[in-house]
Structure 1
């Protein structure tokens, strides 16, 4: 198929046009964990990409002519095409979820500004929507802290189109992708902004949602490393921001994880200590007892018997501040 593009568009416009073209083509791809991704790509016959999902989902290199010309032109215009002789590769992936498409970083997401999307994105959306469904009052102002691809902000904004939804991230690449993805989804009530947690945005919020990095990562990758000896520095910083920035009756939904040692949950202990004496009522629920087990083989989790996922929900009592 020959390209019908007359002039190279600006990078963000190119990504938006690429997303629109993929939607029109019925593109779908479910992004898996990095461990699964690596295993599948190691299979015989999976070294090179021959289709849109091979290249834009599985991040397989490809030869010229494997993809439609228009897709290659848009990748190039967006600054997302890497050429190494006659072997090319995409620097982005595109995932489908909740009826929408989301641009994020290619596999492996090792760059300092990598933007992650995966199963935890789905889990965070599920937790946020479950919380929304149980609320008697619709939130008017919502923040998705550490938005990444913007998938959580978009999913919430679709359910409460009258709300102002801020998708904030300290990573400029994440802000860029979130802005493009919100436009692709048609969620005009999402505003993507650069902010270190909530430090660079004003006001209070009726709902704060966050899935911050929570792993102990020896490579200190920004999308993955939660900081501190347990990977809890960022989750705890999000809790601290919520203590100060939730409006009366407002809630925090925090999706996070922790290494469990001898049956002890250090994230639960740290959260209980931080929330003690505040006006926030909170619950903590382990939602998956055993994930990312490949990390137990490394020194970072040599102390842990398992890695668990949890959802913490904290609500400021109506009338308190």
Structure 2
């Protein structure tokens, strides 16, 4: 079935509302955990809604309510091969909202990822907004993906203009769907490479950029040959576009090498000579341990995820 993107977005919004009404909820795990759980006996085929739209398991006739199957068909996101059907989207829960994103595995170049780092990033953004004394009039989520960060900020900064920017058209489609589901009218998804496609300064910049060293070079995952190049580019953009009193909340990751943190060292170099005051902390010291078995991280002793917060002095 060929469906135009406007129709797809409208039907996915309708599907999300149906799922909310049905009480659907799902917490998305890491790809390694997802694969491990799906390998368990009895998990090869879906038995219910969460299996299909959370665990991305194949299913067939009679598993889902007909209304849900119809909406998946109308959105053009249901693949059928005989009695083996698969949804090309998932829905995940966070902060009382549902977010549509790509089905597992996220192998395609235009995949839109949602997972534990999304929760961590959005939590960090929410905590910053709630502790901030100065009002937020204008904010941007760089590399917004599903728009989870932008939506989280908008819910806590009523009246603010919040841009959700990405270079991936699929991410912007899903961000528009998720914005509609959350009812956050202040969020505006738009195409931009970092901040090159949008104008003006910002009171708040948030980002959870790709930070892995990905031999396949997938845009949603690859942060550069050392993993932190994109994070440093965001630091540079923030240094130019933060308003007085404005802040950056950057959630990223780094491979620790013999006790050294290359991202922290690179960040110090990027921010040297600016007027930004910054803080840096590890959120989790040991994640994605399965990556240590591959050549990309043969040099690292662990992979950590971190939050960097930088603030420009108020005038």
- The verdict on a shared fold, with TM-score over 0.5 as the criterion, is yes
- Residue matched to 2:301: 305
Q: Distance in 2 between matches of 1:292 and 1:56?
A: 24
2:152 is aligned with 1:155: yes
- Cα deviation code 1:276-311 (max 9, x no counterpart): 001111111111111110100111000000001111
Unaligned runs of 5+ in 2: 1-5
- Residue matched to 1:296: 292
Q: CA deviation at 1:51?
A: 0.7
- Residue matched to 2:3: none
- Cα deviation code 1:48-89 (max 9, x no counterpart): 112110000000000122111111111111111111111100
Q: CA deviation at 1:155?
A: 1.1
- Cα deviation code 1:122-169 (max 9, x no counterpart): 100111112112211121000011110111111111111111111111
**Do the aligned residues in 1 keep the contact of 2:255 with 2:297 (CA within 8 Å)?**
yes
**Do the aligned residues in 1 keep the contact of 2:60 with 2:83 (CA within 8 Å)?**
yes
2:125 is aligned with 1:128: yes
Question: How many corresponding residue pairs?
Answer: 310
4+ runs deviating over 4 angstroms:
none
Unaligned runs of 5+ in 1: 1-8
Q: Distance in 1 between matches of 2:82 and 2:44?
A: 16
Which residue of 10, 18, 28 corresponds with 2:7?
10
Q: Distance in 2 between matches of 1:99 and 1:126?
A: 13
Alignment of 1:200-219 (within 5 A): 200-219=197-216
**Do the aligned residues in 1 keep the contact of 2:143 with 2:194 (CA within 8 Å)?**
yes
- Residue matched to 2:267: 271
Which residue of 153, 167, 178 corresponds with 1:181?
178
Which residue of 64, 67, 79 corresponds with 1:67?
64
TM-score (norm 1): 0.95
- Cα deviation code 1:3-38 (max 9, x no counterpart): xxxxxx911110000000000000000000000000
- Residue matched to 1:317: 313
Range 154-163 or range 172-181, more displaced: 154-163
Range 133-142 or range 263-272, more displaced: 133-142
- Residue matched to 1:256: 252
**Do the aligned residues in 1 keep the contact of 2:248 with 2:310 (CA within 8 Å)?**
yes
* Equivalent position SS for 1:253: strand
2:104 is aligned with 1:107: yes
- Residue matched to 2:224: 227
Q: Distance in 1 between matches of 2:91 and 2:129?
A: 27
Q: Distance in 2 between matches of 1:288 and 1:24?
A: 35
Q: Distance in 2 between matches of 1:161 and 1:60?
A: 38
Q: Distance in 2 between matches of 1:276 and 1:240?
A: 11
- Residue matched to 2:73: 76
Q: Distance in 2 between matches of 1:10 and 1:311?
A: 38
Q: Distance in 1 between matches of 2:37 and 2:286?
A: 21
* Equivalent position SS for 2:283: strand
2:283 is aligned with 1:287: yes
- Residue matched to 1:57: 54
TM-score (norm 2): 0.97
- Residue matched to 1:137: 134
Q: Distance in 1 between matches of 2:151 and 2:307?
A: 20
* Equivalent position SS for 1:10: helix
RMSD: 0.9
Q: Distance in 2 between matches of 1:132 and 1:96?
A: 21
